[in-house]
Amino acid sequence: MSYPGYPPTGYPAFPGYPPAGQESSFPPPGQYSYPSGFPPVGGGAYPPTPSSGYPGAGGYPGAGGYPAPGGYPSAPQPGGAPSYPGGQGFGAPPSGAGFSGYPQAPSQSYGGGPSQVPLPGGFPGGPMPSQYPGGQSPYPSQINTESLPSYPVFSPVSVDYSSEPASMTQGTQGTIQPAANFDAMRDAEILRKAMKGFGTDEQAIVDVVANRSNDQRQKIKAAFKTMYGKDLIKDLKSELSGNMEELILALFMPPTYYDAWSLQNAMKGVGTQERVLIEILCTRTNQEIREIVRCYQSEFGRDLEKDIRSDTSGHFERLLVSMCQGNRDENQNVNHQLAQEDAQRLYQAGEGKLGTDESCFNMILATRSFPQLKATMEAYCRVANRDLLSSVGREFSGSVESGLKTILQCALNRPAFFAERLYHSMKGAGTDDSTLVRIVVTRSEIDLVQIKQMFSQMYQKTLSKRIASDTSGDYRRLLLAIVGQ
């Protein structure tokens, strides 16, 4: 099975998280008081997906080449959800290797072995100076910002970076880049003036926050405390409220901490926000997941796997526990014989028998690399005469179905998956602001450019226009500053 225009040459870039040189970090225990004062996260579940299935079952556009010659077959009407393939070719024996009516993707190779990614030599910054020479505090211009600490203060979990595929760190682009001529002292002073006196200069805050990388924001936090003896986060919380507060605080959280905090918040109190668990655990890399697990323990004093076991059950619980291990094969070489064997196993575990062998689906989807899963999906189409996403929808239901489909959709086109999530966060009455904030913030330095392209292609409307029509005030202004036009 092949998908239109995907990928044009080789497996699409699978972004590193965070980008090289901006490794995820999180503060020492007790640094934040978010859980008690942070605005509640709304929208605990995905808005209902169309009954006819996920776009990934044939409606996802390819990561490159937009659109295919002759127009994309499932292009939606302006303002509406994408049409899903129906009739001949969907769930019926395909024509050749792909679905009927869909252009064939060019022949491709996944390349050789994994690239070598150097292990970063720790985190930037050193210890905060306890005092200054002569007992005098220097003026801001006299402080060496390179000595300001960056989080975390402990070493990241040990990961064999030689196994990280090149496609995880190349080929995608965030909308936020590190600012040139960055001066943490100057930015801290701007933020201080914006919050001093009567009223708040929100535009000044937007101008700084939306144009600095997360690593630079951590330096601004440290500089603010050094210069004024006050906590920047507490000052921002006292000046802001609602969605604007949630967005600003999310931007100032180190990426790993934000993921861990989102998971903890999704399982805190009555009920569980399963879609948040799926969105994070089923889309992150091995390195990201291992650091999230460690941060979760360090910051909240809890074991992530135990919390998942206590808040979920059945096959969904097993899938998330598998994801928590961070042990997916990340070798970019594709074994086509294995793909054929896995396709046969999946068919025999589902469509080819009465009942479903859920453990077989869990084993293959939780362990195989994303390029390998894509090859398996193509082989499955030939074996079963239907696509694997369709079969998962027929064999599973509820959260485990959503989790398995998320893995397969990321194997096909990760930016398209997040574009769909953004669309559903703003679809219908009301806006799932927490989902909107979380995706915009977490992808802003990774692949938000590609997500915007997918959104425009899938929904015939730019992401910025959709955000502008669904939000207002300073909250809208900051979102649009991050997303760009």
Catalogue all structural domains in the chain, each as residue range(s) with its CATH number: 174-240 (1.10.220.10), 256-327 (1.10.220.10), 336-412 (1.10.220.10), 415-483 (1.10.220.10)
Peptide bond into 94 cis (omega under 30): no
Q: What is the pLDDT of residues 313-322, one digit of tens each?
A: 999 999 999 9
* Residue 364 to residue 335: CA distance in whole angstroms: 14
Residue 9: predicted pLDDT: 44
Tell me the mean pLDDT in the region 61-78.
Answer: 42
- Each residue of 95-139: pLDDT tens digit? 333 333 323 333 333 333 333 333 333 333 344 443 333 444 444
Burial (CB count within 10 angstroms: exposed 0-12, middle 13-18, buried 19+), residue 482? buried
Please say if the pLDDT value at position 419 is more than 70. Answer: yes
C-alpha 369 chain-centroid distance: 17
pLDDT value at residue 374: 96
Rounded Cα distance between 143 and 150, Å, is 16
What are the backbone angles phi and psi of residue 54, rounded to the nearest 5°? -80, 150
Reported as a pLDDT band with limits 50, 70 and 90, residue 274 is very high
Specify the 3-state DSSP secondary structure of 190: helix
Higher pLDDT, 96 or 48: 48
* pLDDT higher than 80, residue 448: yes
Report which of residues 384 and 99 the model is more confident about.
384
| Predicted pLDDT at 302 | 96
Question: How many beta carbons lie within 10 A of that of residue 168, not counting itself?
Answer: 23
Q: How far is CA 251 from CA 212, 310, 334, 469, in A?
A: 10, 30, 37, 22
CA distance 49 to 218: 37
Q: Is residue 341 classed exposed, middle or buried when 0-12, 13-18 and 19+ CB atoms within 10 A define those classes?
A: middle
* pTM for this prediction: 0.69
**Residue 65: per-residue pLDDT:** 42
Give the DSSP letter string of 18-68. S-TTS----PPTTS--HHHHSPPP---SPPPPPTT--GGGTTPPPSSSSS-
- In one-letter notation, the amino acid at residue 463 is L
For residue 3, the SS3 value is strand
pLDDT value at residue 170: 54
